[in-house]
Amino acid sequence: MNTEGQNATDLIETEVTVSETLETVEVPVVAEPPVEAPAAPAVAVNVDDSALYIHRELSQLQFNIRVLEQALDESYPLLERLKFLLIFSSNLDEFFEIRVAGLKKQITFAREQAGADGLLPHQALARISEQVHEQVGRQYAILNDILLPELAKHGVRFIRRRYWTPKIKAWVRRFFRDEIAPIITPIGLDPTHPFPLLVNKSLNFVVELEGMDAFGRDSGLAIIPAPRSLPRIIRLPEDVAGEGDNYVFLSSMIHAHADDLFSGMKVKGCYQFRLTRNADLSVDAEDVEDLARALRGELFSRRYGDAVRLEVVDTCPANLSNYLLKQFGLAESELYKVSGPVNLTRLFSVTGLASHPELQYPPFTPTIPKLLQKKENMFGVLAKLDVLLMHPFESFTPVVDLLRQAAKDPNVLAIKQTLYRSGANSEIVDALVEAARNGKEVTAVIELRARFDEESNLQLASRLQQAGAVVIYGVVGFKTHAKMMLILRREDGELRRYAHLGTGNYHAGNARLYTDYSLLTADVALCEDLHKLFNQLIGMGKTLRMKKLLHAPFTLKKNLLEMINREAAQAAEGKPAHIMAKVNSLTDPKVIRALYKASQAGVKIDLVVRGMCCLRPGVPGVSHNIHVRSIIGRFLEHSRIYYFLNGGDEKLYLSSADWMERNLDMRVETCFPVEGKKLVQRVKKELELYLADNTQAWVLQPDGSYQRLSPTGNQNPRNAQAMLLERLCTPVINGR
């Protein structure tokens, strides 16, 4: 079958370019998508037109902006609003470290390539700079003008220097003398002391000096790197600052006592700054004999990659900011002046204040299905039926318990598991260590190159190896992103397999914060497929034929395109056709083209895409049948669901893979069917909750912007996450 689609294009008699039609597109007033998809216009659009595609980095930036908008939502508790503002900072850091760094690298090496959207890297960088400057200004305005004053009303104060009382000044002076000055190392700049190599995202100060030092030097400049071992905010004792939670910034302390670091000289100015560097590791797996050893070396160099962004306090004079730009080889467009601390992410430490539970989300207890409660032998349950869990509303504990029971069970012979982000000291790893020490054959496929978790994964690999487990680092050139566990058990003289497949990671902490699905099963065909996939990962050989499992980079994309095309063929024949999907990102041009063609044929397509989406919905003649929304709320939407009406024989899959080139072409991913009418209808209804959300949903417009939905007329507010919490979780009453 032609995986590029062979249905809708057969119906097209006339093509026009989308650049022509977009000029006439009116962005509609935000309302919920109609129940019935509109009929296709007589004139269809060429789906290869670059104007039909949104630049992926600009789309990612739009997601970060949606996160920032949550800080303005008064329906959230106050500290949670602060947390969203800080998540925006954290996301923006990674955006520059990886996305912007990648675009700059293309320009540096004269390898500029346009994607399906036709935008070249230098053009994208110009748009990014313009948008980020605007949004960073908004972020600090939200912090200074809204959140900090509101927090102060609740007794959570960040006291600026101009408001320090004599008692606070005396305490700060002692703290600086005893805790900061002994470990701080100011660096004077002169021919024998060149500009220091500064660590990525570290807090630093550029100091303007007047006078000569003991050696007669008068360069006039110095750098103060803030000690990384010190917290960026320090709580003041109540007998010093009064009742409540009162804090001062480390940067304020250093500003106040910079003179003490340069004896006999006058400090004319002290200004904080922070440099962001390229943090993308560049290990060529084909050119190294030991990937783990090479990765350890790269982890150090990540701290000193090429500069991509400079943040300075907005009081820093132009001559000093220009001096810093020159030192780092950055343009003026890469300078960001901020009205406050340059390292806002360090404020995360106050978002979980035990003294203010009323300013945070109310706690909840994830439920455990009754059939798994107090079950000392989960194998007996799974031998009879599949168990599907939706995290965080349903507990991740059964997944851990299954592995713990396997570690202790004398009938269990072997355990195989992939680990992408789990943490070296997690319960999952504890159980694998115990299993290995109990004589089980434990094999762990660890993806060392899980971005920003490389060091933790190296520690994890070492710990498992010391326990006697076999550790495999996956396949060269293909990240192992699949989430799967396989247990081999002897029962009545025969061998039986049990499995876990998931859309998320084996990380109990993330399972409290991310929405994901877990399938626990003993399905013979599915477990046999997993056995083949593990053998393919661990050993060598040709691609093995699977019965139920779809897996990247071999069968997933091909089958996905075929299922999309099948819906298009149904619609072309005048039959009902419907696609629903929930993914983190949608960027793959082939998938987008197939969806466009399906829309042209009349397929109703409803997509929940949390982050990047390069598809333009609502364009007449091409995507008029496609609706795209993003859900931003308390939990990070992370589950991947694919649904196809399939002529009434509904097909529903859960997957570890997003609809991105890297997932479908360059990673080891799994996509597994949900079977049985009861489970299919359950997942379908949960997906439909997200499609009916009118409080946390942002609707993607044809021009690439997003507009937030709100109840209209006599509509009741519908919040998918809140409804799932109410239906599936147990609230914690009075902290018990």
User: Residue 44's pLDDT is what?
Assistant: 58
- Is 157 annotated as a binding-site member? no
% of the chain exceeding 70 in pLDDT? 86
Tell me how many degrees the CA angle 538-541-545 measures, rounded to the nearest 5. 100
Q: CB–CB of 517/500 below 8 Å?
A: no
Superfamily in which the 365-546 domain is placed by CATH: Endonuclease Chain A (3.30.870.10)
Residue 426 has pLDDT above 80, yes or no: yes
User: Residue 282's pLDDT is what?
Assistant: 53
Q: How far is CA 431 from the centre of its chain?
A: 27
Kindly list the domain boundaries of the chain, sorted by start residue. Answer: 41-54+552-731, 159-287+305-360, 365-546
| Predicted confidence (pLDDT) per residue in 17-47, tens digit | 443 434 333 333 334 444 444 444 545 578 9
- Is 161 annotated as a binding-site member? no
Tell which CATH architecture fits domain 159-287+305-360.
2-Layer Sandwich (3.30)
Q: CB–CB of 517/653 below 8 Å?
A: no
As a whole number of angstroms, the distance between CA 330 and CA 536 comes to 46
Query: Highest-confidence range of 2-16, 305-319, 463-477, by mean pLDDT?
Result: 305-319
- Is 346 annotated as a binding-site member? no
Average pLDDT over residues 467-487: 88
Q: How confident is the model at residue 15 (pLDDT cuts 50, 70, 90)?
A: very low
- Is 391 annotated as a binding-site member? no
| Predicted confidence (pLDDT) per residue in 115-148, tens digit | 899 999 999 999 999 999 999 999 999 999 999 9
- Could you say which of 55, 255, 391, 481 is catalytic? 481
SS3 for 265-290 is CEEEEEEEEEEEECCCCCCCHHHCCC
Average pLDDT over residues 470-487: 88
Determine the residue type at 4: E
Average pLDDT over residues 711-716: 90
- Is 667 annotated as a binding-site member? no
* Phi and psi torsions of 68, nearest 5°: -60, -40
Q: How far is CA 647 from the centre of its chain?
A: 35
Determine the residue type at 629: R
Provide the mean pLDDT of the chain.
88
Domains 159-287+305-360 and 365-546 share a fold: no
Q: How confident is the model at residue 218 (pLDDT cuts 50, 70, 90)?
A: low
CB atoms within 10 A of CB 288: 15
As a whole number of angstroms, the distance between CA 628 and CA 115 comes to 21
Residue 263 has pLDDT above 60, yes or no: yes
As a whole number of angstroms, the distance between CA 642 and CA 671 comes to 9
| Predicted confidence (pLDDT) per residue in 326-375, tens digit | 999 999 999 999 999 999 999 999 999 999 999 999 999 999 998 898 77
| Predicted confidence (pLDDT) per residue in 269-282, tens digit | 999 999 999 987 55
Task: Tell me if residue 531 is catalytic.
Answer: no
Instruction: Enter the tokens of residue 501.
Output: 């497949």
- Is 91 annotated as a binding-site member? yes
Q: How confident is the model at residue 190 (pLDDT cuts 50, 70, 90)?
A: confident
What fold characterizes domain 41-54+552-731? Endonuclease; Chain A (3.30.870)
| Predicted confidence (pLDDT) per residue in 615-636, tens digit | 999 999 999 999 999 999 999 9
Task: Indicate yes or no: pTM above 0.95.
Answer: no
As a whole number of angstroms, the distance between CA 202 and CA 218 comes to 26
As a whole number of angstroms, the distance between CA 299 and CA 283 comes to 10
Of the candidates 488, 518, 472, the one whose C-alpha atom is nearest the C-alpha of residue 414 is: 488
As a whole number of angstroms, the distance between CA 73 and CA 632 comes to 11
Residue 69 has pLDDT above 80, yes or no: yes
| Predicted confidence (pLDDT) per residue in 373-401, tens digit | 877 889 999 999 999 999 999 999 999 99
